[in-house]
Every structure is written in C-alpha cells, then in structure tokens.
C-alpha cells in the first residue's frame, strides 16, 4: 500500500483517486473547493463531476495542500494543463523530494509548447526518473462505473513506471508499462485534436464513412508528428495512441468530441467553452501543436482545418473533403 496524493478533484482526478483507492492505497484527494471536499468526506460522492458514483469510504479529501502532500510517496496531477505551471509554482515545493510525480493531464503548454512532464521537470527540478505519465482509452465516466479498461504508465525509468502501474492496477483497471514517455504523452494530446475533428463532422451530420476516414488519416497524421519528436511508432498503435483515439473520437462521454460536435452545429468557441463547463484540452492544444509541427516540417492538414473551424474561418461542413496534405496523393486499395 502506498500513500498517494491526487491533486485535482475534477471528473478524471476523482475517478483516478477511486482507481488508486480500489487498488488498496491510502489516497487523499486535493480539491480547490471546500464544498467538494465536504461532499466527498461526508457522503462519499462528487456530484458536480461524477454524479451517482459512490466513492470508496477510505478515500479522503482536503482543501489543504500541505495535508494532501505530507509524506506522499506518489503524487498524481490532474489539474487543467493551462494551470499546471501556476499550480506547481504555488505548492510544488511541498511535494516530497523522493516522491514519484505522475501526470494525468493531456495537453501542451501555451507559449512554450512543452508537454506536461516537461513542465513538471522544469518547475520542480526533479529528475526524469521520478516522473511518469498515465494515458490510454480512459473515459472517466466508464471507469468510475468500474467498466474494465487498460492504460499505460510511462517513465524513462522502468522501475518508476512499474511502481505506478502496481499502484493503480485493480480488478477493473489494468496498467501496462513502457519507457516511451514522448509517444505515450503525445498520443494522449494529439488524439484530442482528431476527436474534435470527428465531433465537428458528427455535428454537421456526416456519417460513419467520413468519421472513419478522418480517424484513419488522423492516426497517420498524429503518428508522423509524434515520431518526428522521438516517439516509437509502435506506441502510436497501442493503448496510448490508437486505443485512446478510438475511445475519445467515438464516445459522447468525451469532452473533446462534445466540443467538436457543438462547433459542427455552429456554436462559437466561446459558446462551446461556456456550455461544456469543463476543460476540453483539444481546443487549447491545437495552436501550440501546429507550431510544434511547423518546427519539424510535419504537415497536419486535419488539425489545420480544425483550427480554421475554431477560429470561424472555415464552415464546419467544409472540413471533411480536406484530408490530404499538399504533397500527398490519393491512396489505392
């Protein structure tokens, strides 16, 4: 049994705290809001983010960062990617120096283009071997219902990845390991962008052929990008790549799919964000990902179309025909 802190009590943070508690760990969940803490501690529910889900009785919550982080052996970060740096600068110094720090986030930092593990390393100054990321086809609503699923824990240290996998593996959640942090992390980031594209065409009213075409071409697109930044091609067709892409692109539980669907129906980005009331990392990651792609000379036509739709420069119904880069030829059977 490990002493674990989960920082962030949104839907994914709360769900993962449940996973860790169900695996037999001593888990404390940090939340910004006192009403959320009170609800978790008194009724074992988080109604705002996981309505109808009973949380383990042993799972505790606190609004006090120092209490959450005290003596923690593993610290799981589930705050919005846009606020990670600010959060770590505020309370990161309280994370025990020998703790494993795990990113549950799937985003790229605006302005720097850094992955979340890179932000953690830069702000905390901890060695790469103490950092891990968890990613895969992980829709929080399904996992909270204890529907079987699998994920990947990645770290440059196999020992660290294995410790994280052991901590979160239980009867309904299986966690595998690899050392491809770049591929595992980019898989989780990039699939959100394709999920937004598929949501857009779904909102327009296009059918399965269109969605399958975008998913397939999208996988090729995000794989080219990830490999250009050092990812292993096999990672992109595994749980953290293709697996996550399928789950996020097809499920109405996916915030990125919902965001795309609303864009496809004609809502503006501002309206989408207001209606979602939660973070859709794909919307925030499009621009920085395209900047990174340009730096490596990687063409991402689908993602480029998504940005045009988000910015109101392209009609949603026009996104589907544009599936090829300028230097590509139509493929035969």
Written as six digits, the tokens of 257 are 């799919």
**Contact partners, residue 206, CB within 8 Å, separation at least 6:** 317, 320
Catalytic residue at 3? no
Q: Which of the residues 191, 265, 269, 313 is marked catalytic?
A: 191
Instruction: Tell me phi and psi for residue 244, to 5 degrees.
Output: -65, -35
Q: How far is CA 213 from CA 80, 205, 243, in A?
A: 30, 15, 16
Residue with tokens 């799981």: 76
Q: Please list, in sequence order, all residues whose beta carbon lies within 8 angstroms of the beta carbon of residue 115, skipping any fewer than 6 positions away.
A: 108, 109, 182, 185, 186, 189
Residues 215, 221, 224, 229: is their CA dihedral positive or negative? negative
In degrees rounded to 5, what are phi and psi of residue 175? -125, 125
Q: How far is CA 106 from CA 25, 45, 240, 268, 277, in A?
A: 24, 25, 11, 23, 18
Nearest to 141 by CA among 53, 69, 80, 37: 53
Q: Within the chain, how many helices (H) and strands (E) appear?
A: 15, 8
Between 255-264 and 281-296, two packed helices, what is the crossing angle to 10 degrees?
90
25: which 2 tokens? 């760990």
Residue 4 and residue 40 in contact, taking contact as beta carbons nearer than 8 Å: no
The strand pairing partners of 286, in sequence order, are none
Q: Residue-wise over 67-92: b if at least 16 C-beta within 10 A, else e? A: ebbeebbbbbbbbbbbebbebbeeeb
The pairing of beta strand 3-7 with beta strand 26-30: parallel
Question: Which residues are catalytically annotated?
Answer: 191
């Amino acid at each position: 049994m490990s002493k674990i802190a989960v920082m962030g009590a949104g839907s994914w943070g709360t769900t993962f705290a449940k996973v860790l508690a169900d695996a037999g760990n001593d888990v404390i969940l940090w939340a910004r809001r006192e009403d959320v803490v009170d609800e978790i501690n008194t009724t074992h529910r988080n109604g705002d983010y996981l309505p109808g889900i009973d949380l383990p009785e042993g799972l505790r919550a606190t609004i006090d960062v120092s209490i959450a982080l005290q003596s923690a052996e593993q610290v799981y970060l589930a705050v919005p990617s846009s606020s990670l740096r600010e959060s770590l600068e505020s309370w990161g110094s309280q994370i025990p120096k020998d703790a494993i720090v795990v990113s549950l986030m799937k985003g790229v930092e605006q302005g720097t283009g850094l992955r979340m593990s890179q932000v953690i390393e830069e702000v905390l100054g901890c060695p790469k071997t103490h950092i891990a990321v968890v990613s895969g086809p992980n829709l929080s609503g399904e996992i909270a219902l204890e529907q079987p699923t699998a994920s990947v824990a990645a770290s440059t240290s196999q020992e660290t990845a294995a410790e994280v996998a052991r901590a979160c593996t239980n009867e309904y959640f299986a966690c595998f390991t690899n050392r491809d942090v770049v591929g595992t992390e980019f898989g989780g980031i990039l699939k959100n962008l394709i999920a937004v594209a598929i949501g857009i065409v779904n909102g327009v009213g296009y059918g399965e052929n269109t969605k399958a075409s975008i998913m397939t071409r999208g996988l090729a697109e995000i794989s080219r990008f990830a490999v250009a930044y050092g990812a292993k091609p096999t990672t992109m067709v595994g749980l953290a790549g293709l697996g996550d892409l399928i789950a996020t692109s097809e499920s109405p539980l996916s915030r990125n799919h919902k965001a795309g669907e609303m864009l496809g129906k004609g809502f503006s980005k501002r309206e989408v964000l207001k209606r979602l009331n939660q973070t859709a990392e794909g919307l925030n990651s499009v621009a920085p990902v395209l900047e990174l792609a340009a730096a490596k000379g990687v063409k991402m036509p689908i993602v480029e179309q998504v940005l045009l739709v988000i910015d109101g420069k392209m009609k949603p119904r026009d996104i589907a025909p544009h599936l090829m880069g300028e230097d590509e030829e139509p493929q035969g059977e």
